[in-house]
């Protein structure tokens, strides 16, 4: 790392030019070939996937994407001319393959005659779906209410979250300027992060032609890329600044920063990547593709932090040094004095802090015992959106379950399909079931409407009950459709999550054990990270599942817990490694466990909290996103970073290290010999006698 620093110091323009070329090439190439993002919700081995494959093979038209045109009036029959005119206009729009006649189709008008719907088969783009929305707005009025629903409309109305990205960048810049007292110094971590995120986005667009990457990837890439990009660059820059103030030259300061904080960044980033790759244990294509892309942004960010940032420091180092020294001169007191005092304060109340914080985090985690995974339907969206209005009208006219119909497919004879229809109709949880219709030779389909909405617990129970009861019916009976697929997705995550946790936590503990030559420190890190993640996800469940703070109550998006776990667990290791590596430096140098905690916290406390404040601002900005999933991601990760940095690192870790004393650094001799020797700090210097410090011996 020191040699890499010296190379960038001698040839900063070459390093910067290489990054500009890589950045420009990735953006230019992605713009030229275009993206091929596509959602992959395949779930091998599930009944809903078996049904989808069967329809794709023998009746592909049954899986057509559609837009619902929902209309309501005191008497929809009296509004037929206006409805027909609207449907004719929609039928002529780009992307619309066909539109049925609701007045001629059985069941398309509600029993009370106040609500009806037409189905438009849609095979167009997002821009073409957006062009349909004004037509519904113009047709509404004078006693007729019209709204569009369906997945294409929901995707358009959720938007891309551009405002959130802008708020996050602005908040990060403000915090950095306040910390360093210089716009130039503050801009360097942001420049590094932007180059990393931009390059990764371009690469992701290119990779999407080879690997299936989801359509919702862009905001997640920004969310993670900007967060870790600023975080990693700030940790290195802060060490550079510390070395300058300690009297080192710019070149020596850069080398020391890269040889200490740079190693921490590479190690922490590797843990994030390991946590993301752990998602492969779930066996879900949608999560695996996200893991690839997010791991890529972390990898590119790590490389940018140890190559681009040192080059920028070499180029602007003289100006930055002047501002750093001027800003430090204006500050009163000894650097880290307050953090040293805080550490002493916590030491005196160590057990009280341990008990109170642990109880508080466990209490915040309590909602996880009733966590309900799923995919939020249009009923959880803002009432201003057409998709929500269409959802409400259909619920009023046809019942809550109409928005989440279940497919029952019989691969067999007409008699077997009729037997399945009778078995389904006998269930109390079924509001109505349509007679089986032959969609292909010897392939029959009927739709089942339950008494609950798509994301209600009653619908989950109905899917399981249908499958159990239909097992006793002759022929191949399958229950599926989008609603059942969402339930299967959630079931898979719940069943395979323990294996995922064991892989991620186990590998991370082994890495920490190899780095810090300790048994208790990796165990402490794993337990504290689990508490942090549990408390943050518990907060998300309180807000979104229970409907606090004005949100619509509904299930937690099935993606959120496992993706959040992987990312948060990795990011928590950033601060763990950065803080503990500084403590280990002091422990190796002095052999004094108490003093190691004090000096470690004093030298890293301000950096960790500043980095956390930036991460919180970036992640918290996504509460302004239109996407419920991104809101849950943003709030959950912002809460986790707050808990980790301000509660765990600044309060619970010093208390635990005080309680463990010298035992924190204990490792059995046999294990010490077996584990590979990995360091994130320079090797301890020999004493004048040529022997290692006592702590190392």
Q: Which of 567-576, 613-622, 681-690 has the lowest mean pLDDT?
A: 681-690
Q: Residue 682: what pLDDT?
A: 59
Measure the CA–CA gap between 653 and 182, rounded to whole angstroms: 32
Instruction: State mean pLDDT over 232-245.
Output: 82
Cα separation, 5 vs 261, whole angstroms: 12
Rounded to the nearest 5 degrees, what angle is found at the Cα of 253, between the Cα atoms of 249 and 254?
Answer: 120
The answer to whether residues 153 and 95 belong to one domain is yes
Task: Specify whether 298 is located in the same domain as 328.
Answer: yes
The verdict on residue 218 lying in a domain is yes
pLDDT attached to residue 159: 61
| Rounded average pLDDT over 559-586 | 81
pLDDT tens digits along 430-457: 888 888 888 889 999 999 998 888 888 8
In a domain, 694, yes or no: no
Percent of the chain predicted with pLDDT > 70: 94
Least confident of 118-127, 402-411, 498-507, 565-574: 565-574
Residue 382 has pLDDT above 70, yes or no: yes
Q: Is 637 inside any structural domain?
A: yes
CATH number of the structural domain spanning residue 558: 1.20.1640.10
Contacts of 122 (CB under 8 A, 6+ apart): 65, 66, 67, 95, 96, 97, 129, 150, 152
Please report the pLDDT score of residue 120 as a whole number: 92
469, with CB counted inside 10 A (0-12, 13-18, 19+), is: middle
- 246 lies in the same domain as 165: yes
Residue 246 resides in a domain: yes
What's the confidence (pLDDT) of residue 245? 80
181-190, 530-539, 653-662: which has the minimum mean pLDDT? 181-190
- The predicted-structure confidence for 517-526, as pLDDT tens digits, reads as follows 889 988 998 8
Q: What Cα–Cα distance (Å) separates residue 491 from each residue in 155, 457, 503, 550?
A: 24, 13, 19, 28
169 and 318 part of one domain = yes
Mean pLDDT for 392-415 is 90
Q: How confident is the model at residue 692 (pLDDT cuts 50, 70, 90)?
A: very low
| Domain final position from 158, 174, 205 | 158
Q: What pLDDT sits at residue 25? A: 93
Among 511-515, 535-539, 616-620, top mean pLDDT goes to 535-539
697 pLDDT more than 80 = no
pLDDT of 481 strictly over 80 = yes
Region 318-326 average pLDDT:
77
Last residue within a domain, chosen from 432, 457, 480: 480
Q: Do 326 and 367 sit in the same domain of this protein?
A: yes
What is the model's pLDDT at position 332? 57
User: Cα(572)–Cα(580) distance, rounded to whole angstroms?
Assistant: 12
* Whether pLDDT at 333 is above 80: no
282 and 220 share one domain: yes
Q: Is residue 48 part of a domain?
A: no
User: Total domain count for the chain?
Assistant: 3
284 band by pLDDT with thresholds 50, 70 and 90: confident
Q: Is the pLDDT of residue 162 over 70?
A: no
User: What is the DSSP pairing of strand 373-374 with strand 556-557?
Assistant: parallel
At 688 the pLDDT is: 42
Is residue 469 domain-shared with residue 503, that is, in the same domain?
Answer: no
Same domain membership, residue 70 and residue 18: no
Mean pLDDT across the chain = 84
Report long-range pairs for 502-509 (Cβ below 8 Å, ≥24 apart).
503/278, 503/281, 504/274, 504/275, 504/278, 504/565, 504/566, 504/569, 505/529, 505/530, 505/569, 507/274, 507/278, 508/271, 508/274, 508/275, 508/569, 508/573
- Highest mean pLDDT (candidates 68-82, 168-182, 333-347, 553-567): 68-82
More confident residue, 70 or 548: 70
Residues 6 and 153 in one domain: no
User: Which of 125, 158, 191 is the last residue in one of the domains?
Assistant: 158
478 backbone dihedrals φ, ψ, rounded to 5°: -125, 140
- Is 154 found in the same domain as 165? no
Maximum average pLDDT range among 362-376, 529-543, 612-626: 529-543
- In 10 A of CB 647, how many CB atoms? 19
- For the segment 9-23, what is each residue's pLDDT rounded down to a tens digit? 888 899 899 999 999
334 pLDDT more than 60: no
Q: Please count the other Cβ atoms lying within 10 Å of the Cβ belonging to residue 198.
A: 19
* Structural domain contains residue 39: no
Domain assignment of residue 96, yes or no:
yes
CATH number for the domain spanning 446: value is: 3.30.70.100
Q: What local confidence, expressed as pLDDT, does residue 90 receive?
A: 94
pLDDT bucket at 335, cuts 50 / 70 / 90: low
- Domain, as residue range, for 453: 406-480
Q: Are residues 198 and 295 in the same domain?
A: yes
Is the pLDDT higher at 416 or at 696? 416
Q: Are residues 86 and 14 in the same domain?
A: no
Flag whether 41 is in a domain: no
């Amino acid at each position: 790392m020191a040699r890499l620093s010296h190379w960038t110091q001698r040839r900063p323009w070459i390093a910067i030019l290489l990054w500009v070329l890589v950045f420009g090439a990735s953006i230019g190439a992605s713009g030229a070939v275009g993206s091929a993002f596509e959602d992959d919700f395949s779930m091998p081995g599930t009944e809903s996937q078996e049904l989808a494959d069967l329809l794709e093979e023998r009746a592909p038209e049954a899986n057509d994407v559609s837009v619902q045109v929902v209309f309501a009036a005191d008497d929809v029959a009296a509004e037929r001319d206006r409805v027909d005119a609207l449907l004719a206009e929609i039928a002529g729009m780009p992307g619309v393959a066909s539109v049925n006649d609701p007045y001629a189709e059985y069941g398309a008008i509600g029993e009370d005659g106040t609500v009806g719907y037409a189905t438009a088969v849609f095979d167009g783009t997002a821009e073409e779906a957006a062009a349909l929305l004004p037509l519904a707005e113009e047709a509404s009025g004078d006693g007729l209410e019209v709204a569009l629903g369906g997945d294409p409309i929901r995707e358009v109305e959720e938007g891309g979250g551009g405002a959130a990205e802008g708020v996050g960048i602005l908040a990060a810049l403000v915090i950095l300027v306040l910390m360093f007292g210089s716009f130039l110094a503050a801009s360097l971590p942001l420049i590094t992060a932007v180059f990393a995120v931009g390059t990764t986005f371009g690469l992701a667009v290119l990779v999407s032609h080879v690997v299936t990457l989801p359509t919702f990837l862009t905001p997640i890439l920004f969310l993670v890329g900007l967060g870790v990009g600023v975080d990693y660059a700030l940790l290195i820059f802060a060490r550079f600044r510390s070395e300058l103030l300690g009297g080192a030259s710019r070149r020596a300061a850069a080398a020391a920063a890269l040889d200490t904080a740079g190693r921490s960044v590479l190690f922490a980033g590797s843990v994030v990547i390991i946590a993301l790759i752990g998602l492969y244990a779930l066996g879900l294509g949608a999560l695996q593709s996200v893991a690839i892309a997010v791991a890529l942004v972390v990898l590119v960010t790590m490389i940018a932090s140890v190559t681009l940032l040192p080059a920028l420091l070499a180029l602007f180092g003289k100006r930055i040094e002047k501002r750093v020294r001027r800003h430090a001169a204006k500050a009163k007191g000894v650097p880290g004095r307050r953090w040293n005092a805080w550490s002493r304060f916590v030491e005196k109340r160590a057990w009280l802090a341990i008990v109170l914080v642990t109880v508080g985090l466990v209490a915040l985690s309590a909602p996880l015992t009733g966590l309900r995974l799923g995919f939020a339907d249009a009923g959880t969206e803002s009432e201003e959106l057409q998709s929500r209005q269409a959802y409400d009208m259909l619920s009023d006219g046809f019942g809550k379950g109409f928005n989440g119909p279940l497919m029952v497919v019989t691969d067999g004879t007409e008699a077997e399909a009729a037997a399945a229809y009778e078995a389904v109709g006998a269930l109390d949880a079924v509001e109505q079931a349509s007679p089986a219709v032959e969609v292909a030779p010897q392939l029959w389909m009927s739709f089942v409407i339950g008494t609950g909405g798509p994301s209600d617990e009653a619908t989950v129970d109905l899917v399981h009950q249908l499958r159990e009861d239909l097992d006793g019916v002759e022929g191949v009976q399958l229950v599926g459709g989008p609603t059942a697929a969402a339930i299967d997705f959630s079931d898979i995550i719940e069943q395979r999550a323990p294996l995922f946790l064991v892989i991620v936590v186990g590998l991370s503990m082994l890495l920490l054990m190899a780095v810090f030559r300790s048994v208790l420190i990796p165990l402490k890190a794993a337990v504290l990270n689990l508490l942090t993640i549990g408390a943050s996800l518990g907060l998300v469940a309180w807000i979104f599942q229970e409907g606090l703070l004005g949100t619509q109550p509904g299930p937690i998006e099935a993606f959120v817990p496992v993706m959040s776990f992987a990312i948060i667990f990795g990011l928590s290791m950033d601060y763990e490694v950065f803080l503990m590596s500084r403590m280990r430096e002091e422990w190796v140098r002095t052999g004094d466990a108490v003093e190691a905690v004090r000096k470690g916290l004093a030298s890293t406390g301000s950096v960790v909290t500043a980095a956390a404040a930036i991460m919180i601002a970036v992640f918290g900005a996504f509460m302004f996103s239109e996407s419920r999933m991104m809101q849950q991601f943003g709030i959950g990760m912002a809460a986790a970073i707050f808990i980790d940095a301000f509660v765990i690192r600044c309060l619970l870790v010093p208390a635990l290290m005080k309680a463990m004393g010298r035992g924190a650094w204990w490792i059995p001799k046999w294990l010490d010999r077996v584990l590979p020797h990995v360091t994130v700090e320079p090797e301890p210097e020999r004493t004048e006698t040529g022997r290692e410090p006592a702590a190392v011996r």
